């Protein structure tokens, strides 16, 4: 029997920590076992060639390169590019690389955040692989993909033109971990072209398998600074995005920011300027260049108003894509802030170890379990339903939020660009004792007579939607749904609940 309060048909995530698909026991993408493949290559004295992601045009994908450029692409192993290739030189750093011709700033900005957290980085990038002993042209990386960790093997043949990699660029010509990590994720997505355009949240969750929260900076919460500071202390990944411009292509604004672009949050600090505290945020552009030129930028005279110690600690005038700005400017010029941690501890002050995660997988099937949103009164009740109990009222010390609910669509296509995301959301209803059904689902009459206790603010066309909720003691039913009825898709419902509420 599940422990009291666990959602009906939902298992606690910690029960699956060591099972197939856990970080310690990942699944093999396409059944390719890294250790077996490496032993075979060493025994046979051959270098690995990955037939599941072959070094040819199929892996580059459609529409990314012009025919004239494709004609000049040559796939080379690192030893054919430089004389003494290294997997990593000294240590992993955001300054190791810059974005190539591929529109995957969302992925590279997430890697920039990843380099601050060795524990998470080592999960994604296994150690003890390189170009030295037992090298056989084989590498592997790990990503969390829709409920499970997968180990992804690749060969080290990289697409080049004139002897240089055409996608992510390493600033040290003999360092190849960025190019190989990018190739592994391209394999997961289906091709390099399938990595064009995306969101920080997608890559951050795939790097951590953890808890993600998105904050709309156009209407920031009053505790935004506290949330960012706490996320930094708990080792959460942070990034933010600028609004899209009128042009479909990226354009540089007069203030130095790029429209429709992802940035890594690399620092959060308060300094004294002219006798007053100022909250400033450090950001990094994955282009490896191109910086904000307003207040607190590298050349700003405002730096003369802070102490020499703060100036020495914070200010760098290198053209490396990294810069500072105030929290107010962050909210004015960026649209979203994404926070993602291994666990929910960063969600609340003094809450380390006080959260529990539960997860369920489900599916909407046209004609049976895809009833659409509440606008469809006759069919809404046919959607999957999940029940939870909140046993104890949260204390006033812990603010108002006691539950983070996430709904993620699970694709059924290999190529990321072919995935059709529906507009999704979820609705939460309180269940009174008189409402208890004899068996099975709550009927249409239950939902017709009820007002939602909580719900997503809007149904959006995204891989994942989430809401940070307050639920008082009682029993509830959560109904995930697409906006329109009869849309077939799989989903993952994750509930992160404060243990003091015993939900």
- Whether 322 contacts 296, CB under 8 Å: no
| Pairwise CA distance, residues 191 & 193, whole Å | 5
Give the position of tokens 């017709």.
Answer: 448
- pLDDT more than 90, % of the chain: 67
3-class DSSP string for 359-427: EEEEEECCCCCCCCCCCCCCCHHHCCCEEEEECCCCCHHHCCCCEEEEEEEECCCCCHHHCCCCEEEEE
pLDDT tier for residue 249 given thresholds of 50, 70 and 90: low
| Pairwise CA distance, residues 36 & 54, whole Å | 19
| Pairwise CA distance, residues 430 & 475, whole Å | 6
If asked whether residues 332 and 393 sit together in one domain, one would say no
As for how many domains the chain has, the answer is: 3
CA 346 centroid distance within chain: 15
Of the three residues 340, 369, 403, the one that is the final residue of a domain is 340
The yes-or-no answer on residue 117 being catalytic is: no
Establish if 27 belongs to a structural domain. no
Picking from 116, 112, 138, 144, the residue whose alpha carbon sits closest to that of residue 209 is 144
Who contacts 64 (Cβ-Cβ below 8 Å, separation ≥6)? Answer: 101, 102, 192, 193, 196
pLDDT digits (tens, 9 = 90+) for 252-303: 899 999 999 999 999 999 999 998 999 999 999 999 889 999 999 999 999 9
3-class DSSP string for 235-252: CCEEEEECCCCCCCCCCE
pLDDT tier for residue 349 given thresholds of 50, 70 and 90: low
Of the three residues 159, 174, 205, the one that is the final residue of a domain is 205
If asked whether residues 200 and 215 sit together in one domain, one would say no
So what's the pLDDT on residue 192? 96
Name the residue with higher pLDDT: 446 or 439.
446
If asked whether residues 329 and 373 sit together in one domain, one would say no
3-class DSSP string for 170-218: ECCCCECHHHHHHHHHHHHHCCCHHHCCCCHHHHHHHHHCCEEEEEECC
> What strands lie across the sheet with 464-469, from one edge to the other?
11-12, 355-364, 489-498, 403-410, 464-469
The yes-or-no answer on residue 105 being catalytic is: yes
Establish if 484 belongs to a structural domain. yes
pLDDT tier for residue 429 given thresholds of 50, 70 and 90: very high
Written as six digits, the tokens of 91 are 């240590």
Instruction: Tell whether the model's pLDDT for residue 205 goes beyond 80.
Output: yes
Q: Kindly report the backbone phi and psi dihedral angles of residue 11, in degrees, each rounded to the nearest multiple of 5, phi listed first.
A: -105, 150
338: helix, strand or coil: strand
So what's the pLDDT on residue 418? 87
pLDDT digits (tens, 9 = 90+) for 181-204: 999 999 999 999 999 989 999 999
Picking from 42, 47, 35, the residue whose alpha carbon sits closest to that of residue 137 is 47
Spot the catalytic one: 7, 41, 105, 503.
Answer: 105
Mean pLDDT along residues 496-500? 77
Q: Domain of 151?
A: 32-205
Residue 365: give its domain's CATH number: 2.60.120.380
Task: Provide long-range contacts, Cβ within 8 A and 24+ apart, for 414-421.
Answer: 414/190, 415/189, 415/190, 415/191, 415/194, 416/189, 416/190, 416/194, 416/195, 417/61, 417/189, 417/190, 417/193, 417/194, 417/196, 418/190, 421/461, 421/462, 421/463
Written as six digits, the tokens of 289 are 């260049």
Written as six digits, the tokens of 416 are 């990321």
So what's the pLDDT on residue 337? 97
Of the three residues 340, 358, 377, the one that is the final residue of a domain is 340
Spot the catalytic one: 189, 214, 240, 261.
Answer: 261
The yes-or-no answer on residue 402 being catalytic is: no
| Pairwise CA distance, residues 130 & 139, whole Å | 8
Establish if 4 belongs to a structural domain. no
| Pairwise CA distance, residues 476 & 2, whole Å | 17
pLDDT tier for residue 398 given thresholds of 50, 70 and 90: very low
Instruction: Tell whether the model's pLDDT for residue 22 goes beyond 50.
Output: yes
If asked whether residues 158 and 226 sit together in one domain, one would say no
If asked whether residues 104 and 83 sit together in one domain, one would say yes
Helical (H) or strand (E) element with 227: helix 224-233
If asked whether residues 52 and 197 sit together in one domain, one would say yes
Rg (CA), the chain: 24
DSSP 500: G
So what's the pLDDT on residue 200? 94
If asked whether residues 282 and 385 sit together in one domain, one would say no
So what's the pLDDT on residue 5? 30
Strands 474-482 and 169-170, bridge-based pairing: unpaired
pLDDT tier for residue 7 given thresholds of 50, 70 and 90: very low
Establish if 193 belongs to a structural domain. yes
Mean pLDDT (the chain, rounded): 89
Spot the catalytic one: 104, 140, 285, 497.
Answer: 285
pLDDT digits (tens, 9 = 90+) for 441-460: 899 999 998 899 999 999 99
Residue 270: give its domain's CATH number: 3.90.70.10
């Amino acid at each position: 029997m599940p422990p009291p309060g666990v959602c009906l048909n939902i298992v606690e995530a910690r029960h699956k920590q060591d099972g197939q698909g856990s970080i310690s026991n990942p699944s093999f993408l396409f059944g390719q076992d890294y250790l077996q493949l490496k032993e075979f290559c060493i025994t046979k004295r051959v270098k690995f060639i990955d037939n599941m992601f072959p070094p040819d045009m199929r892996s580059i994908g459609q529409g990314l390169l012009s025919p004239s450029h494709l004609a000049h692409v040559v796939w080379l192993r690192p030893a054919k590019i430089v004389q003494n290739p290294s997997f990593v030189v000294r240590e992993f750093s955001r300054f190791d690389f810059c974005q190539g011709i591929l529109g995957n700033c969302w992925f590279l900005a997430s890697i920039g955040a990843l380099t601050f957290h060795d524990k998470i980085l080592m999960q994604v990038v296994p150690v003890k692989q390189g170009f030295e002993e037992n090298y056989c042209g084989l590498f592997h990386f790990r990503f969390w993909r829709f409920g499970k960790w997968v180990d992804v093997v690749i060969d080290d043949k990289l697409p080049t033109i004139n002897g240089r990699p055409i996608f992510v660029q390493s600033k040290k010509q003999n360092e190849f971990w960025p190019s190989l990590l990018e190739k592994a994720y391209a394999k997961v997505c289906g091709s390099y072209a399938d990595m064009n355009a995306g969101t920080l949240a997608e890559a951050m969750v795939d790097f951590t398998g953890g808890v993600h929260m998105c904050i709309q900076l156009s209407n920031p919460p009053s505790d935004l600074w506290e949330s960012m500071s706490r996320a930094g202390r708990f080792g959460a990944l942070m990034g933010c995005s600028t609004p899209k411009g009128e042009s479909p292509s990226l354009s540089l604004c007069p203030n130095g920011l790029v429209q429709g672009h992802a940035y890594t949050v690399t620092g959060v600090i308060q300094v004294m300027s002219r006798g007053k505290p100022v909250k400033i945020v450090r950001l990094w552009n994955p282009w490896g260049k191109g910086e904000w030129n307003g207040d607190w930028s590298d050349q700003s005279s405002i730096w003369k108003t802070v102490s020499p110690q703060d100036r020495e600690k914070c200010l760098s005038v290198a053209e490396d894509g990294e810069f500072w700005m105030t929290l107010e400017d962050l909210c004015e010029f960026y649209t979203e802030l994404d926070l993602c941690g291994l666990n929910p501890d960063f969600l609340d002050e003094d809450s380390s170890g006080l959260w529990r995660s539960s997860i369920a997988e489900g599916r909407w099937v046209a004609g049976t379990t895809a009833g659409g949103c509440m606008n469809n009164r006759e069919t809404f009740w046919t959607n999957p339903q999940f029940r939870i109990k909140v046993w104890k009222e949260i204390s006033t010390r812990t603010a108002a939020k006691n539950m983070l609910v996430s709904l993620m669509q699970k694709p059924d296509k290999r190529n990321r660009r072919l995935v059709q995301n529906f507009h999704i959301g979820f609705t939460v209803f309180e269940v009174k004792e008189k409402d208890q059904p004899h068996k099975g689902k709550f009927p249409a009459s239950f939902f017709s007579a009820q007002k939602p206790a909580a719900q997503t603010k809007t149904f959006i066309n995204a891989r994942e939607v989430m809401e940070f909720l307050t639920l008082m003691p009682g029993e509830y039913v959560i109904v995930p749904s697409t906006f329109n009825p009869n849309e077939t898709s799989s989903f993952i419902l994750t509930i992160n609940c404060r243990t003091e509420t015993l939900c």
